[in-house]
């Protein structure tokens, strides 16, 4: 290609050849990024998806690749990723995914499912149908069924998915939070566990307080819950950890007015969208507390970007001893770019970094 009157090699010829290359496509759902790995990762050992997740957690060489893609200089403190792997049972799922973020690996991610489902249709991983294309995504928490709209003139592919069984693990739990005293929180499961409480109990407003203040407060709550509440999951103990805290506007009773929240997960990472698995957990909690009925659709707004998802409980089910619901969440994903990253062997910052 010609730049400033000079012939410059095309990027493929320009890139050095003394390190791994990883090719990705970038998308976002409601402002929350998703970096989908296309090529460059080695096969992940493991007999099933959860064991592959465990391999990623414990194998330094593989985790180094996560860090290289999620952290600076290739990523940033809010980056999120998806590594596609073969499903455990191809008759049950079209694809399987390991979710990555700046701290490690999640068990469920709604915004990623929305983006991956559209990508699966656009890339031909699944055969396109009208008016909606079904895409089954195996996540570490279970198989999630998505439907991608394929008859809209804009072709943006609005996507809705039905969750794994979501439930209220505990409601009205008293937690002692340093600097705030005793607070009442709910703990819900939507493929990952979240502590949920109104920002007002921390002296904050989810719509007007600074993101840094909300992040610090939510992180403090997460630490307190992890220390004081023992979580369990009837399917697998690998799922039994608190992923983050969701601060809300306190608007939990059903209304057509959107309810706002911010989710702070992993190591103080801020979700830019309303959080798909968080919406699932909030619906499960609201249903358990009699604040919403089956089939009632609510809008959930990100206080960070003002993007919205919708959510509704579609049917009652069971998860071990927990009464549960299947939740349908809807949103839109968009493409932002396509990249080939190089990991030069001589680069001292090759594995990535984050500023403290």
Whole-angstrom distance, CA of residue 110 vs CA of residue 309: 10
CA–CA separation, 150 and 86 (whole Å): 25
Buried residues in 315-337 as b, exposed as e (16+ CB within 10 A): eeeebeebebbbbbbbbbbeeee
The separation between the first and the last C-alpha atoms of the chain, rounded to the nearest angstrom, is 39
Both tokens of 48, joined, read 């099933």
Would you name the residues annotated as active-site residues? 109
Rounded to whole angstroms, the Cα distance separating 82 from 59 reads: 17
Task: Tell me the DSSP string of 209-257.
Answer: S-HHHHHHHHHHHHHHHHHH-----SS-GGG-SEEEEEEE-S--S--SS
Cβ count near 286 (within 10 Å):
25
Locus of tokens 């410059």: 8
- The answer to whether residues 101 and 81 touch, using CB atoms and an 8 Å cutoff, is yes
- Secondary structure class of 227 (helix, strand, coil): helix
Q: How is the chain split among helix, strand and coil, in percent rounded to 5?
A: 20, 40, 40
CA–CA separation, 55 vs 252, rounded Å?
A: 39
Q: Cα–Cα distance between 152 and 325 in angstroms, integer?
A: 30
The sign of the CA dihedral 161, 81, 231, 196 is negative
- CB distance 343 to 40 below 8 Å: no
CA dihedral sign of residues 70, 71, 74, 80: positive
Q: What is the DSSP string of 269-290?
A: EEPSS--HHHHHHHHHHHHHTT
């Amino acid at each position: 290609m010609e730049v400033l009157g000079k012939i410059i090699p095309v990027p493929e010829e320009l890139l050095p050849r003394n390190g791994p290359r990883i090719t990705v496509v970038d998308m976002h759902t409601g402002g929350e990024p998703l970096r989908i790995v296309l090529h460059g990762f080695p096969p992940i050992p493991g007999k099933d998806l959860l064991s592959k997740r465990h391999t990623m957690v414990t194998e330094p060489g593989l985790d180094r690749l996560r860090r290289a893609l999620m952290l600076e200089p290739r990523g940033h403190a809010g980056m999120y990723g998806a590594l596609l792997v073969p499903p455990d049972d191809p008759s049950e799922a079209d694809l399987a995914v390991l979710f990555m973020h700046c701290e490690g690996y999640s068990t469920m991610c709604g915004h990623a499912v929305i983006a991956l489902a559209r990508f699966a249709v656009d890339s031909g991983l699944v055969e396109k149908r009208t008016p909606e294309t079904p895409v089954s995504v195996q996540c570490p928490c279970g198989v999630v069924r998505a439907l991608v709209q394929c008859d809209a003139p804009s072709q943006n592919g609005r996507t809705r998915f039905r969750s794994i069984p979501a439930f209220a693990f505990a409601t009205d739990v008293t937690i002692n939070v340093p600097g705030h005293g005793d607070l009442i929180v709910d703990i819900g499961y939507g493929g990952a566990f979240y502590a949920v409480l109104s920002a007002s109990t921390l002296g904050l407003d989810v719509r007007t307080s600074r993101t840094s203040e909300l992040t610090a407060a939510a992180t403090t709550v997460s630490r307190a819950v992890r220390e004081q509440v023992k979580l369990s999951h009837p399917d697998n103990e690998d799922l039994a950890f608190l992923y983050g805290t969701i601060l809300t506007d306190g608007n939990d009773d059903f209304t057509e007015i959107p309810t706002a929240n911010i989710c702070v997960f992993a190591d103080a990472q801020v979700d830019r969208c309303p959080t798909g698995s968080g919406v699932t957990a909030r619906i499960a909690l609201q249903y358990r507390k009699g604040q919403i009925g089956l089939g009632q659709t609510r809008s959930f707004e990100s206080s960070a970007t003002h993007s919205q998802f919708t959510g509704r409980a579609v049917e009652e089910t069971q998860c071990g001893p927990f009464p549960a619901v299947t939740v349908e969440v809807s949103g839109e994903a968009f493409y932002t770019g396509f990249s080939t990253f190089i990991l030069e062997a001589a680069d001292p910052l090759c594995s990535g970094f984050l500023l403290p």
